[in-house]
């Protein structure tokens, strides 16, 4: 598809403008315009023409509101022409039917032309601007040149894929760590899962004996039923209290309401009910009748006065009949006055002009009178021809003189050139020597390259040695490191996994052991602090005390029963010098006191028991962890020994698998690459030395053909090159000089021949002009024969005829002014005769006219006044008639109401209205009282309130009953509060028991909540992780499908855009990840991160252009639209890029917008400039202030 034409309406920066892109040989179009010239507007209009749709942005209000706002002409791939017209419909740009296609057919063709992509997709795939180019280069850097991401972004036109992947990875890591489910994990999903397990464990532990639970539940239910009954009784008492309070509030108002109703019912003698509309209308009607009567009397008085004024005015009709003629005459007064002033002056001027005519005739070379002057008139065409012949002859004579001088100068220059060629000498053929020199130039400065290559080799060797010194693992040479035997990847990964697992387990065991030791120490500390604050016996101490008491009881029983087997020694040990019974009582007292102390401090006892149990448990845990740690350390040491044996290299200090992996990646791979590069560099150095020697032999052989001194002292190739170039330069200079002199000689000969031809032609023209002059002079014999005198005579004669014409014109002007004066005087006398007006003696004609005008003005004013009075009389008669009709209408209406209500006079009407006003006032009082009663009654219906009031025989009985109810309610509420406190205590005891069913339910509910959270967070993790993996898979599949073909094409573009600095694009793998790399001319490899910003931009542009060309092999060609993408390119790379775009334009249309004049100048210097069209937007844009308005 090609865009052939775009018609831009008058909007924003543009006046109405048509962009024509129909040049057959031009596929590359550069649209130039300075800032504010409207390039961005034109680009947006271009997309609007192709895609239409909803208007937004700066053009939303800029397009005309109606009509065809956009026109375009497109050419399809099969050279089919399609006209596109779009009109505005609200905020939409819609297609319009054309003579060739309907709107639907055009829409279908447009979709085919743009490969069925949307406007946004088109801008991404086929639109380039500077910001997107820079963003593409930055994204290459952000992804470190990963091949899949780079190709996907360049091919799909999207950006920031690496950022998207990083965000998805971060989101997944924030949700969960699938490799570790430690209790102290900070990940959302891990924390929720741990909370879920903890609550499930709490549910399992929560339990309560069923009998205890049922007993407490029954007590709570019984007390709760009692409280509900009390609450219902209190509510009944409160309802009765509210009823009595309500009666107390409305009692007086209901009495007043009854009195108002009785007064209202007393109006039994009131006449027929007066309708509300009649109550408003009748007083208004009475007032209207009074107004109508006053109006009628006033209008009749005004009518009589108007009749009197009308009859007093008299009008002279004759003056009105001749009014137009008098007005016309008044308009001509000024012209008449001007004519009186001009006639003497014009007559004087005419006499002076006639005298000047006589002077001109006297100065003429031929004496003639006025009659013979007309016979000497020459036709204008002949005068023009005479002047033309005179000018031609003078010019031809000047040309002939110039040609003679030029011819003499050329003859002298020709002689000088011939002498120079004789002095120059012969020119020898330098083709063979030039071929040798060109070959040497093509290979560059070989000796410098050899020296540079040697320096590069030395730098690489020094860098390799320095690199070895910078690390501690390898102690050998770089070559030995490059040839080092490396364990298989699978072996390294197995050791790495096992090593990482053992390290993690060792760290975890050490952390667990430290935590157990810390817990053990903390429990010892807690026990010591508890004993310092208050000595609390434990259960073992209580058992020991009770055992002493029981042993004393056993000894007492032996003594009491006089047992012969009693142990005296045991008795002595128990009593400790005291009587046995006293010692026993002391033991019992001690056991009781210990038991009482434990009961009083049951919580501390329980806490101490718990601490002792925990201390024992942590001590056991420490022992187990130490044993596990010892076993794990032995296993780890064996793994380390096996890992060192896998490498089997004395120069290698083996580290952990992860460190060795990093060493292999960072150092050993680098050493391998360095060794290979160094080997290649040395071979290139040898090749260069051999090439240099062969080139020296070639130049010696080629120089032997010339007469030069072949010294053996030329040791370097540079000296041989210098001598060869001197020979070539001398021969080339001699050849150029000889060629230039021969060219000059040929030019002089050609110029002399041309001048001689011009000289002959000039003489022929002079003879031709002189012949034509002679023939023309014979027609006018009175004209002098000499051309110079004849032309002077003709000029004098022309002046005489021109002045004579002015004299005649002045005579016509004098006669015209005299005619104006005479016609005015004649018209004035005619009107005076018709009006029978005579001019007084001595009266000026102008004064008489002004008097008539004044008389006419007075007559017209009297006529106008009389007509106005006549109109007023007609309006007055009509107003009197309407006033009488209105008064009669009012009387008729009032008569109907008089019969209905029996009121004949205005006084009777006022009495009737007063009675009804009193009735309405009572009705209003009744409504107000009812409203007040309803408000005070709390929404109870009026009838029910009245019934409640009637039930009370006397208002004084309400107060005692209310006081009794208040006391009874207070007493019941005290009972209710007491029960509520008991119920609260029971419920508190019930819920605070360990393992209640309520706790179990709470824990179960919390566990269910955390399970829901786990489910939601797991689904969120699956969505994020699935999106990340699908995107990675799409990127990788895209890379596999496009890598080879795209890189092959992009490589050619990149090599040209960087002026050959990079010779190849490659895909290098690191940890199985493909990365884009570029090979420089010296063979070194550079990753994207090592490139400059501009080079990365050029790499991204190369990839994009490669994808565009690939698209054209699968789909139809689509125009490329670019907006100043070369802002940060230097001049050389800008020119190279424009050459590439010119080649791309041979396959598809390229439209380039720019505001840089340097781009236009660079385009015009290209070898393909004939196929590039430059369009200026300067003339299309409005001035800045107009555009802003």
**Tokens, residue 964:** 């009794």
* Residue of 689, 677, 688 lying closest to 459 (CA atoms): 677
Residues above pLDDT 90, as percent of the chain: 0
* Residue of 1078, 1110, 1111 lying closest to 1096 (CA atoms): 1078
805 contacts: CB under 8 Å, gap ≥ 6: none
Strand order through the sheet with 1062-1070: 1062-1070, 1073-1080, 1085-1087
pLDDT at site 1032: 80
Distance in angstroms (rounded) separating the CA atoms of residues 635 and 493? 18
Helix (H, G, I), strand (E, B) or coil at 1147: coil
Cβ atoms of 480 and 725 closer than 8 Å: no
Question: Which residue has tokens 């107390």?
Answer: 248
How many residues are listed for the chain in this entry? 1189
pTM passes above 0.75: no
pLDDT, tens digit, 9 for 90 and up, residues 327-346: 888 888 888 878 878 888 88
720 contacts: CB under 8 Å, gap ≥ 6: 696, 699, 700, 703, 714
Confidence of residue 52 (pLDDT cuts 50, 70, 90): confident
Distance in angstroms (rounded) separating the CA atoms of residues 219 and 222? 5
The arithmetic mean of pLDDT across residues 450-472, rounded, is 84
**Tokens, residue 520:** 């053990």
The arithmetic mean of pLDDT across residues 1050-1076, rounded, is 85
Strand order through the sheet with 1150-1154: 127-129, 1120-1123, 1150-1154, 28-32, 1172-1176
Helix (H, G, I), strand (E, B) or coil at 184: coil
Residues above pLDDT 70, as percent of the chain: 87
Cβ atoms of 145 and 1075 closer than 8 Å: yes
Distance in angstroms (rounded) separating the CA atoms of residues 668 and 474? 9
- Four-CA torsion 126, 132, 137, 140, nearest 10 degrees: -70
Longest dimension (CA), the chain: 204
Asked if the model's pLDDT at residue 1185 lies above 50, the reply is: no
pLDDT at site 620: 85
pLDDT, tens digit, 9 for 90 and up, residues 733-771: 878 888 888 888 888 888 888 888 888 888 888 888 878
pLDDT at site 268: 57
**Tokens, residue 575:** 């009593």
pLDDT, tens digit, 9 for 90 and up, residues 17-41: 788 887 756 788 888 887 765 667 7
pLDDT at site 209: 46
The arithmetic mean of pLDDT across residues 228-248, rounded, is 82
* Residue of 640, 650, 637, 642 lying closest to 485 (CA atoms): 650
pLDDT at site 562: 62
What distances in angstroms separate CA 105 from CA 95, 113, 592, 809, one per listed residue? Answer: 10, 12, 109, 73
Residue 74, phi then psi, degrees to nearest 5 = -120, 155
Cβ burial of 406 (10 Å; 0-12, 13-18, 19+) is: middle
- Four-CA torsion 802, 804, 809, 813, nearest 10 degrees: 140
Distance in angstroms (rounded) separating the CA atoms of residues 903 and 1158? 107
pLDDT at site 274: 59
Confidence of residue 632 (pLDDT cuts 50, 70, 90): confident
pLDDT at site 641: 86
Cβ atoms of 460 and 674 closer than 8 Å: yes
Cβ atoms of 990 and 216 closer than 8 Å: yes
pLDDT at site 533: 60
pLDDT at site 1172: 87
Distance in angstroms (rounded) separating the CA atoms of residues 756 and 406? 10
Q: What is the 3-state secondary structure (H, E, C) of 88-144?
A: EECCEEEECCCCCCCHHHHHHHHHHHCCCCCHHHHHHHHEEEHHHHHHHHHHHHHCC
Distance in angstroms (rounded) separating the CA atoms of residues 329 and 787? 60
- Give helix then strand counts, H and E, for the chain: 35, 14
Give the relative orientation of helices 997-1057 and 147-156 as an angle to the nearest 10 degrees: 80
**Tokens, residue 252:** 């007086």
Cβ atoms of 704 and 710 closer than 8 Å: yes
Gyration radius of the chain's alpha carbons: 63
Distance in angstroms (rounded) separating the CA atoms of residues 386 and 379? 11
232 contacts: CB under 8 Å, gap ≥ 6: none
Distance in angstroms (rounded) separating the CA atoms of residues 34 and 29? 16
Cβ atoms of 1168 and 1138 closer than 8 Å: no
1156: left (phi over 0), alpha (psi -120 to 50) or beta: beta
pLDDT at site 996: 45
What distances in angstroms separate CA 63 from CA 17, 84, 285, 383, 1180, one per listed residue? Answer: 14, 17, 64, 61, 16
Give kind and range of the element (H or E) at residue 345.
Answer: helix 333-363
Cβ atoms of 1013 and 199 closer than 8 Å: no
Asked if the model's pLDDT at residue 864 lies above 60, the reply is: yes
**Tokens, residue 460:** 């690489």
Q: By mean pLDDT, which of 22-26, 204-208, 1085-1089, 1109-1113 is the weakest?
A: 204-208
The total of other beta-carbon atoms located within 10 Å of residue 516's CB is 20
Distance in angstroms (rounded) separating the CA atoms of residues 1179 and 1182? 8
Cβ atoms of 428 and 730 closer than 8 Å: no
Helix (H, G, I), strand (E, B) or coil at 661: helix
Beta-bridged to residue 14, according to DSSP, are 11, 1181
pLDDT, tens digit, 9 for 90 and up, residues 542-570: 778 878 777 877 777 777 666 555 677 77
Q: Of all residues in the chain, what percent are helix, strand and coil, respectively (each to 5)?
A: 75, 5, 20
pLDDT at site 1188: 40
* Residue of 135, 137, 139, 189 lying closest to 164 (CA atoms): 139
Asked if the model's pLDDT at residue 999 lies above 70, the reply is: no
Tell how strand 1120-1123 and strand 127-129 pair up: parallel
* Residue of 988, 1134, 1102, 1103 lying closest to 1039 (CA atoms): 1103
Give the relative orientation of helices 787-834 and 845-901 as an angle to the nearest 10 degrees: 60
Asked if the model's pLDDT at residue 611 lies above 80, the reply is: no
Q: What is the 3-state secondary structure (H, E, C) of 363-432?
A: HCCCCCCHHHHHHHCCCHHHHHHHHHHHHHHHHHHHHHHHHHHHHHHHHHHHHHHHHHHHHHCCCCCCHH
Confidence of residue 712 (pLDDT cuts 50, 70, 90): low
**Tokens, residue 399:** 């040309």
């Amino acid at each position: 598809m090609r865009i052939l034409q775009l018609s831009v309406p008058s909007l924003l920066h543009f006046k109405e403008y048509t962009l024509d892109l129909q040049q057959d040989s031009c596929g590359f179009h550069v649209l130039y315009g300075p800032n504010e010239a409207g390039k961005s507007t034109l680009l947006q209009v271009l997309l609007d023409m192709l895609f239409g749709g909803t208007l937004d942005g700066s053009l939303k209000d800029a397009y005309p509101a109606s009509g065809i706002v956009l026109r375009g002409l497109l050419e399809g791939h099969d050279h089919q022409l399609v006209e596109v017209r779009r009109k505005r419909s609200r905020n939409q740009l819609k297609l319009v039917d054309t003579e060739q296609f309907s709107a639907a057919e055009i829409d279908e063709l447009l979709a085919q032309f743009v490969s069925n992509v949307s406007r946004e997709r088109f801008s991404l795939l086929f639109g380039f601007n500077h910001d997107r180019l820079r963003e593409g280069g930055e994204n290459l850097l952000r992804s470190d040149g990963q091949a899949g991401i780079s190709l996907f972004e360049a091919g799909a036109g999207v950006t920031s894929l690496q950022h998207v992947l990083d965000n998805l990875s971060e989101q997944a890591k924030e949700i969960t760590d699938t490799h570790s489910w430690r209790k102290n994990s900070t990940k959302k999903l891990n924390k929720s899962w741990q909370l879920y397990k903890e609550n499930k464990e709490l549910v399992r532990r929560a339990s309560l004996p069923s009998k205890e639970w049922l007993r407490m539940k029954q007590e709570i239910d019984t007390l709760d039923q009692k409280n509900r009954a009390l609450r219902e009784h209190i509510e009944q008492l409160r309802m009765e209290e509210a009823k009595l309070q309500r009666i107390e509030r409305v009692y007086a108002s209901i009495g007043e309401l009854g009195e108002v109703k009785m007064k209202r019912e007393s109006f039994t003698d009131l006449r027929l009910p007066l309708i509300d509309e009649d109550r408003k209308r009748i007083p208004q009607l009475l007032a209207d009748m009074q107004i109508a009567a006053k109006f009628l009397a006033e209008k009749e008085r005004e009518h009589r006065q108007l009749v009197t004024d009308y009859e007093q005015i008299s009008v002279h009709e004759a003056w009105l009949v001749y009014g137009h003629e008098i007005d016309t005459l008044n308009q001509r007064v000024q012209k008449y006055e001007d004519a009186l002033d001009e006639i003497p002056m014009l007559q004087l001027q005419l006499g002076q002009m006639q005298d000047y005519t006589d002077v001109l005739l006297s100065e003429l070379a031929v004496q003639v009178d006025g009659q013979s002057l007309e016979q000497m008139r020459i036709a204008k065409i002949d005068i023009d021809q005479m002047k033309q012949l005179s000018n031609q002859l003078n010019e031809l004579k000047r040309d002939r003189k110039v040609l003679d001088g030029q011819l003499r100068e050329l003859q002298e220059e020709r002689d000088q050139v011939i002498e120079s060629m004789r002095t120059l000498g012969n020119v020898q053929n330098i083709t063979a020597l030039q071929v040798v020199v060109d070959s040497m130039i093509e290979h560059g400065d070989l000796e410098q390259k050899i020296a540079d290559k040697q320096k590069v080799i030395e730098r690489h060797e020094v860098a390799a040695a320095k690199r070895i010194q910078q690390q501690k693992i390898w102690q050998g040479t770089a070559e030995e490191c490059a040839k080092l035997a490396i364990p298989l990847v699978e072996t390294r990964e197995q050791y790495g996994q096992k090593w990482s697992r053992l390290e993690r387990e060792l760290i975890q065991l050490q952390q667990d052991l430290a935590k157990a030791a810390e817990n053990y120490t903390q429990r010892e500390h807690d026990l010591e602090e508890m004993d310092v604050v208050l000595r609390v016996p434990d259960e073992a101490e209580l058992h020991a005390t009770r055992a002493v008491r029981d042993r004393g009881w056993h000894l007492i029983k032996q003594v009491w029963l006089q047992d012969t087997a009693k142990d005296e020694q045991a008795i002595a040990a128990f009593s400790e010098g005291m009587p046995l019974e006293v010692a026993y009582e002391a033991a019992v007292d001690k056991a009781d006191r210990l038991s009482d102390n434990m009961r009083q401090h049951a919580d501390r006892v329980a806490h101490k028991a718990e601490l002792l149990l925990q201390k024992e448990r942590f001590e056991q845990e420490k022992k187990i962890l130490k044993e596990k740690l010892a076993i794990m350390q032995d296993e780890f040491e064996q793994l380390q020994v096996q890992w060192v044996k896998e490498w089997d290299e004395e120069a290698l200090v083996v580290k952990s698998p992860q460190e060795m992996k990093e060493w292999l990646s960072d150092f050993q791979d680098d050493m391998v690459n360095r060794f290979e590069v160094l080997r290649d560099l040395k071979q290139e150095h040898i090749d260069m030395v051999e090439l240099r020697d062969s080139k020296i032999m070639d130049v010696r052989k080629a120089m032997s053909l010339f007469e030069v001194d072949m010294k053996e002292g030329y040791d370097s190739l540079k000296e041989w090159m210098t001598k060869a170039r001197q020979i070539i330069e001398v021969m080339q200079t001699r050849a150029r000089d000889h060629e230039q002199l021969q060219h000059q000689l040929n030019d002089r000969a050609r110029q002399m021949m041309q001048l001689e031809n011009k000289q002959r032609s000039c003489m022929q023209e002079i003879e031709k002009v002189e012949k034509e002059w002679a023939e023309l002079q014979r027609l006018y014999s009175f004209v002098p024969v000499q051309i110079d005198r004849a032309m002077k005579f003709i000029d004098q004669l022309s002046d005489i005829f021109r002045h004579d014409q002015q004299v005649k014109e002045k005579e016509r002007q004098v006669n015209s002014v005299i005619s104006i004066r005479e016609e005015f005087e004649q018209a004035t006398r005619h009107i005076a005769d018709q009006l029978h007006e005579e001019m007084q003696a001595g009266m000026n004609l102008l004064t008489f006219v002004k008097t008539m005008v004044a008389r006419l003005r007075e007559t017209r004013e009297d006529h106008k006044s009389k007509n106005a009075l006549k109109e007023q009389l007609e309006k007055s008669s009509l107003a009197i008639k309407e006033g009488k009709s209105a008064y009669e209408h009012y009387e008729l209406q009032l008569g109907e109401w008089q019969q209905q209500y029996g009121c004949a006079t205005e006084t009777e009407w006022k009495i009737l209205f007063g009675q009804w006003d009193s009735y309405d006032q009572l009705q209003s009082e009744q409504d107000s009282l009812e409203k007040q009663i309803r408000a005070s009654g709390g929404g109870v219906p009026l009838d029910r309130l009245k019934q409640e009031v009637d039930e009370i025989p006397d208002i004084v009985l309400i107060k005692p009953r209310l006081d009794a109810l208040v006391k009874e309610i207070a007493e019941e509420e005290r009972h209710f509060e007491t029960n509520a406190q008991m119920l609260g205590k029971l419920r508190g005891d019930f819920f605070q028991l360990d393992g209640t069913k309520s706790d179990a339910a709470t824990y179960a509910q919390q566990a269910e909540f955390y399970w829901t959270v786990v489910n939601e967070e797991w689904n969120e993790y699956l969505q994020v992780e699935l999106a990340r993996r699908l995107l990675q898979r799409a990127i990788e599949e895209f890379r596999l499908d496009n890598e080879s073909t795209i890189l092959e094409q992009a490589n050619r573009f990149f090599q040209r855009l960087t002026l050959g600095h990079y010779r190849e694009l490659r895909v290098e793998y690191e940890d199985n990840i493909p990365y884009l790399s570029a090979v420089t001319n010296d063979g070194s490899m550079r990753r994207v991160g090592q490139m400059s910003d501009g080079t990365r931009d050029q790499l991204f542009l190369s990839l994009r252009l490669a994808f565009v060309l690939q698209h054209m092999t699968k789909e139809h060609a689509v125009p490329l639209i670019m907006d100043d993408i070369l802002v940060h390119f230097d001049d050389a790379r800008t020119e190279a890029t424009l050459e590439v775009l010119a080649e791309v334009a041979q396959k598809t249309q390229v439209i380039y917008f720019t505001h840089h004049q340097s781009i236009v100048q660079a385009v015009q210097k290209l070898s393909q400039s004939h196929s590039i069209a430059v369009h200026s937007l300067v003339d299309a844009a409005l001035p800045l202030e107009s555009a802003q308005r």
